[in-house]
Structure formats: C-alpha cells, structure tokens
Structure 1
C-alpha cells in the first residue's frame, strides 16, 4: 500500500471515530483512557489539561499507543493501532484550529492557559480488520 492510500485510510477512520483510547506508561504498567483525537497529516492531536497525571507519565516515557475506529457494528470494523512519540503542543494555531464548544466544560476558551494538546507522531500504524480481515503494518 502506498503512503497516499495509508493516509487516506487513516484519515477516514479518524474522521469517523474521533474518540479512541490513549495508553501511556505509569510505574511500568499500561494506563489507558478515552480521548478525543484530531488528525493533521498523520499526526494525531488530543486536547488535555496542563495539570493532568498523563503529562507526568509522558514526560517520563513519551511512547504512547492509540486505538481508534472500532465501533458497535461488529468484528469486521476497520480500526487503527498507532504507536508513536508524544510531545506537548501549546501553540495558538493548534488550540484555535481544533477548538470545539463542547470543551467549555473543561476550559474557558481556546486561550485558556490550561488548555493544551498532546501531539503524537506515529512510528508504526497498524490497520486492522480491513480488506478481508488482514492486518497491515506500516513503519514511518
């Protein structure tokens, strides 16, 4: 599969499934939670508060895993598993680009200093359950 097709499939999955699971490492154990994800090229962004425990976990170990796309339709649903490196992104550009009024429950607006993004650059993307249930893995 060519890079343009990978981008297309990943974009389709993330566009249809904004909620996924982010896993970090805490005390050498996985720690998972549901997050909202946005995609720009093949980089994922997820909003968070600046004072959460996940930031301390990421500072100790920046490698994360994300699952996105599996829905209630059954075992044939296509989804992705993405493994990558996570950094913080506090740029006004990203904060405004991905702002959603549903975030008002947690933040005072896109200029809230506690409103930041985790930026996940993928190293490996696995597309699962697509094309006759085969798994495709891509190293980036």
Structure 2
C-alpha cells in the first residue's frame, strides 16, 4: 500500500473511532484504560481529570501505547496501534481540541485549571485490518 493510501486509512480509523485504550507504564508494569480521543492530523488529544494515576505515570514515563478501532464490526475490522510521547497540554488551543459537551458538565471551560488534556504525539502508527491480513503496515512520524 502506498504511503498516502496508508495515511488515508489511518485517518479513517481516527475519524470513526473516538474511544480507545491508553496504556502507560508504572513501576515496569503496564496499565490500560479506556479514553476518549480527539485528533488533529495524527496528534491525539484526550481529556482527563487532575490527580489521576495516568497523569502521574506520564510524568514519570511519557511513552504511551494507544489502540483505536476494531470494536464496532459494522465499521470493519480495521484498527491502529499508536506509539506516542504524551504530555499535559499547556497550550490553550490544545486544551480546546479535547473540549466537548460531556466535559462541559464537569468544568467551567477549557481554561478551568482542573481540566487536564493529554497530548499524544505519535512516533509510529501501525494499521491493521483483519479483513486484509496483508494490510499490516506502519508509518514513522
């Protein structure tokens, strides 16, 4: 598959799937949790609450693994694996990218200091599709 075609398929998975699994490492042990993701290009943004283990984990080790896709059969068998470096958003524009009506129930606005957004910048994205086993490819960013 061409690089552009691969990027288009990855973009389609990102567009169709907002809920995924974020994995971190703490004391050499993996921890995974479901998160809601927003994206701009291939950069992922996910809201969370202050004082969570995942924020502490990322402060100690910023490398994360994210799975998106696959869970809804009618959308196909495609999914992506993302290796990324994560950080807490400090840029107000990045915080706005993860703002939603659901988040608005808990916070006064994207500027609320309690509203935390994790920014995940991928280094590798692997695309897989069980309907097309030969489709397992990756891009390095």
TM-score when normalising by structure 2: 0.87
Provide the aligned C-alpha RMSD in A. 1.9
State the partner residue of 1:137.
Answer: 138
- 1:12-91 equivalences under 5 Å are 12-73=12-73, 77-91=77-91
Distance 1:35 1:17, change over 3 A: same
SS in 2 for 1:21: strand
TM-score when normalising by structure 1: 0.88
Task: For structure 1, list consecutive stretches of 5 or more residues without a partner in the other structure.
Answer: none
Q: Give the Å deviation of 1:2.
A: 4.4
Moved more, 30-39 or 2-11: 2-11
Corresponding pairs, count: 139
Q: Give the Å deviation of 1:83.
A: 0.6
**Counterparts of 2:106 and 2:19 in 1: how far apart (Å)?**
17
